[in-house]
Amino acid sequence: MPRTKKNESESDSKKKTTSKKAAKTKTGSAKKQKKVKTEKKSVPKKTRKVKPVIVDVINDEDLEEATFFSDDTLAKDEFDFQKAQEFFLDLEEGEVPRTELDADLVEASTNEGGFETAEETDKQKQFFSDLVTEIKQRGENANDERVEKTYKNKKSIRLYRSLAWKFLILVGILAAFVFYFSFSKLTILITPQVEAMNDTLYLKIANVQEEVEPGDARDQVSGSVNELTIEMEKEYMATGEEFVGEEIVGRVRIVNNYSRSQALVATTRLLSPDNKLFRIKEAVNVPAGGEVEVDIYADSVSREMAIAPTRFIIPGLWVGLQDSIYAISDEAFSYQQKMEKYVKASDIQLAKSEAYDLILEKAKSLKALRSQDKVIYDVIEPIDTKIEVEAGDKEDSFLVRNEAKVLVVSFSEDEVEKLVTSKLRVLVPDDRELVEFNPDSLSYTVESIDIETGLAKVRANFSSFMILSSDADVIDKESLVNLTAEQIKTYLKDYPEISNYDLKFYPSFIEKAPHLVDRIEIKIKK
């Protein structure tokens, strides 16, 4: 603790008093010495000689040189109270501490019998006693100041630590806000909905280039117009069936191991080992050493007559020839219901309905008429169809003849595609872009044909697809500011041109749109 002005003044006054006393002591000692010398002879011999009191006088310079008395030391809180207390310990016991003694004074006091009065000795003791008391007070004050200073330092450290933590927390919060506003970002990847676009192009195709008439909205395309007469015929099978009985169907081989050929008439009998009788349908002549195949039938038809492959004898031959001439079946006979075919009315109707396609197919096969890469065929109806049978006739098949005129329009499809592409560019909105145009989507319809002038009017229908362009500003980003992921999904559902979307937040744990519009980015996938 720094010394107060009062302590400083008291110290200064005591120093001055000490200096004056030391000076007086020296002066007094000098006078005494002179007095002792002058009055030596006058001292009574009977007077008891008093033991001299040796006094070490500490002047101001000695005090200033002592480290434990230094004002600078006290000011720096480096005063060693224990050292000072030990130094002046004798003062408390009534003795005066010694420093360096004045040699002359000691010698004068000892040898010549100089004396100091009791009053001067008491003053010196009082001086040193006061000095010790002052030093103690300074030490105590210094300790108090040190304790108070330590307490204040600790209190200040706690206060500074609390302020530092608050400052760090505030800086952290501020940094979080700066990070959120500066680095938070939302990217929306949009998959656009493919939208179909249909339209019609009206064309005029002629053998020669004609002048465009005012108000004519048709686009002229170079090509040719021709007329053909197509004739064709086709055989159709009758689908009508009528049940007329049952029959056994099979086939046998007539084997002739005899030296002469053998002739067999139709209905020749064949007898199986289990006595089942069959007949051949046709007359045959079996050469010697050869064989002939022939169909069979049964007089009595039943499912039991459908026998497995076996060997048959021919009962009508001489018994001696039956071992040499016989029949063998390689496959089992089958039981069938006997049906009779006839022409149904639906067979005739089918033949008439197919006439158009057949005429068209025949016309397309004539490749010599294809002067351009695209050809349109138009069959002029009615088609002349001739059928020689009527419904109910007992026929297995019948023949149909067709005749018709076909108009053939040939033109350059490349020119048509260029016209379609140009029209699509006009039809596609600014915020859309054409995905693709497939020429196969073109379909043609002949509206009218004038053979005399060689002019055909054709309607071309086409379709294409478009999507949002990559730079389309379809979504208002300001409407997305500060919205959550669920709110953004609800908002995007109202856009039919969006097929799908993907939300990417940065940082990923913050699923909320930024507060700034320029931190929201919308990308459209191709």
| Per-residue pLDDT reduced to its tens digit, 305-351 | 999 999 999 999 998 899 999 999 999 999 988 888 999 999 999 99
Phi, psi of 5 (to 5 degrees): -60, -35
pLDDT at res. 83: 57
| CA triple 179-180-181, angle to 5 deg | 95
2 with 141: CB under 8 angstroms?
no
Q: Which amino acid is located at 228 in the chain?
A: L
Q: Are strands 240-256 and 291-297 parallel, antiparallel or unpaired?
A: antiparallel
Percent of the chain residues topping a pLDDT of 90:
28
Report residue 46: phi and psi, to 5°.
-85, -5
Question: 368: how many CB neighbours lie within 10 A of its CB?
Answer: 5
- Report the SS3 class of residue 206: strand
* Neighbour tally for 476: CB within 10 Å: 10
Q: What is the C-alpha separation between 276 and 336, in angstroms, rounded?
A: 17
- Tell me, what amino acid is at 345? A
Contact between residue 313 and residue 212 where contact means Cβ atoms under 8 Å apart: no
Collapsed DSSP state (helix, strand, coil) of residue 379:
strand
Q: What pLDDT, on the 0 to 100 scale, is given for residue 99?
A: 43
* Measured distance CA(115)–CA(53) in Å, rounded: 7
Read off φ and ψ for residue 376, nearest 5 degrees.
-115, 130
Contacts of 515 (CB under 8 A, 6+ apart): 180, 181, 481, 482
* β-strands 455-468, 195-206 pairing: antiparallel
Is the Cβ–Cβ distance between 389 and 351 less than 8 Å? no
What tokens appear for 133 in the block? 């008391």
What's phi and psi for 407, nearest 5 deg? -95, 130
pLDDT < 70: residue spans in the chain: 1-125, 128, 132, 134-136, 138-152, 179-182, 208-216, 368-372, 526
pLDDT digit string (tens) for 68-87? 444 444 444 444 555 555 55
Q: What is the pLDDT of residue 70?
A: 45
Contact 245, 301 (CB under 8 A): yes
User: Residue 36 has what pLDDT?
Assistant: 39
Residues 6+ apart with CB under 8 A from 282: 266, 294, 295
What integer pLDDT is reported at residue 181 of this predicted model?
66
First-last CA distance in the chain: 83
CA dist 307 and 251 (Å) reads 12
Tell which phi-psi region holds residue 308, choosing left (phi > 0), alpha (psi between -120 and 50) or beta: beta
**Single-letter residue type at 212:** V
* Distance between CA atoms of residues 75 and 196, nearest Å: 97
Checking phi first, is residue 215 left (phi over 0); if not, alpha (psi -120 to 50) or beta? left
Q: Is 225 exposed, middle or buried (0-12, 13-18, 19+ CB in 10 A)?
A: buried
Per-residue burial over 6-37, b if 16 or more Cβ lie within 10 Å, else e, is: eeeeebeeebeebbebbeebeebbeebbeebe
Q: How many Å apart are CA 351 and CA 233, to the nearest integer? A: 10
* List of residues 6+ apart from 172 with CB closer than 8 A: none
pLDDT at position 460 is 92
pTM greater than 0.85 (yes/no): no
Residue 519's pLDDT is: 86
Per-residue model confidence (pLDDT) at position 368: 56
